[in-house]
Amino acid sequence: MKIIHRITFRYDSKIKTIITELGIPFKDGFICVCKIAENHPKWPELSELLKPFDLVQCGHTLIAEFSKKEFNAAKYLKITPNWHHGYPEPSDTNEYRELTYNLDEYCPKCGIGKRQKAPFRFKKSPVWGQKNILQLNWIFDEYFVKSEIWQEDFEPFGIGCRPVVLDKSGRELDSVVQLELTEQVELHDLDDARVETCDVCGRSKYLPLTGRFMPAPAATNAAMFRSNQYFGSGASAWRMVIISQELYAKAQSANLKGVSYVPCINPISP
């Protein structure tokens, strides 16, 4: 695994002067972007010089780059979207929540507790382009695929689907289905993850994990599943979606586009 630090800053920021004087390349513009590997010889000096700055506000994120060997050795991998297309409808209000979810256990402060009760509503049929897997904005633990992709690549692994309907008419779309994930699995190796506890409902979620292997899931026969634990920040909460090595290999051979993957720590054999 290789750790990359991605730092964004304004064109007139003092950070730009520091990076320029160190001779570290970056993408220039009104908003500048610098990517530097943690093993870069100038990272220790840059890291020290950046300490007076609020890098959270500057957009300091960690990116983990994995080798092909690491991908292939992982028994499970987190699936993550490369794009978000459209919104759950109706999106001009929060009515989509009441229409799509059972909110008996939902907390609006932290976002934990909603349970799907009805199909997602789209404004129109997705514009897929070269992609065949999508995720909606705001909904970070559900995936939608072309109907034929579900039949060819997901149904053989025992993964079901749910219909998707048009918002205005309620008509079922034949060009897209929602992958139906019925199993939730406990994650391990989260001792170093930061936790946020809601002061309204008292429930906790982990802040999003970056720049690392993902936690190890407990043993399961499911090829695609969600975590028991919630992740997110503020009013957003979701469960991590994980797939098996076998499904990952199928997705690679089928050249499925629209998502990427992060290897999980392999579970310890009993």
Per-residue buried b or exposed e for 176-192, using 16+ beta carbons within 10 Å of the residue's own CB? bbbbebeeebebebbee
Instruction: State residue 98 phi and psi, 5-degree precision.
Output: -65, -35
CATH number, domain of 22, equals 3.30.70
Identify whether residues 208 and 228 lie together within a single domain. yes
Q: What is the pLDDT of residue 19?
A: 93
Identify whether residues 160 and 35 lie together within a single domain. no
Residues of the chain with pLDDT under 70: 55-58, 268-270
d(CA 167, CA 209): 34
Identify whether residues 167 and 202 lie together within a single domain. yes
Q: Domain span at residue 22? A: 2-65
Instruction: State residue 252 phi and psi, 5-degree precision.
Output: -70, -45
Domain tally for the chain?
2
* SS3 state at 35: strand
Identify whether residues 54 and 109 lie together within a single domain. no
Identify whether residues 228 and 151 lie together within a single domain. yes
Identify whether residues 230 and 100 lie together within a single domain. yes
pLDDT (tens digit per residue) in 108-165: 999 999 999 999 999 999 999 999 999 999 999 999 999 999 999 999 999 999 999 9
Q: Which amino acid is at 55?
A: L
Identify whether residues 55 and 153 lie together within a single domain. no
- Among 36, 65, 94, where does a domain finish? 65
Identify whether residues 61 and 85 lie together within a single domain. no
Other beta carbons within 10 Å of 266: 14
pTM (2 decimals)? 0.85
d(CA 93, CA 77): 34
List of residues 6+ apart from 60 with CB closer than 8 A: 5, 6, 7, 8
Identify whether residues 57 and 134 lie together within a single domain. no
- Among 65, 93, 110, where does a domain finish? 65
d(CA 264, CA 213): 5
- Among 65, 84, 108, where does a domain finish? 65
Per-residue buried b or exposed e for 28-54, using 16+ beta carbons within 10 Å of the residue's own CB? eeeebebbbeeeeeebeebeebbeebe
Closest CA to 16 of 44, 49, 42: 49
Identify whether residues 61 and 140 lie together within a single domain. no
Identify whether residues 236 and 128 lie together within a single domain. yes
Q: What is the pLDDT of residue 168?
A: 86
Q: Which long-range contacts (CB under 8 A, 24 or more apart) does 70-73 make?
A: 70/1, 70/263, 71/248, 71/261, 71/263, 72/245, 73/263, 73/266
Other beta carbons within 10 Å of 66: 17
Q: What is the pLDDT of residue 55?
A: 66
Please state, in angstroms and as integers, the Cα–Cα distance from residue 138 to each residue in 104, 143, 229, following that order. 20, 12, 18
Identify whether residues 135 and 177 lie together within a single domain. yes
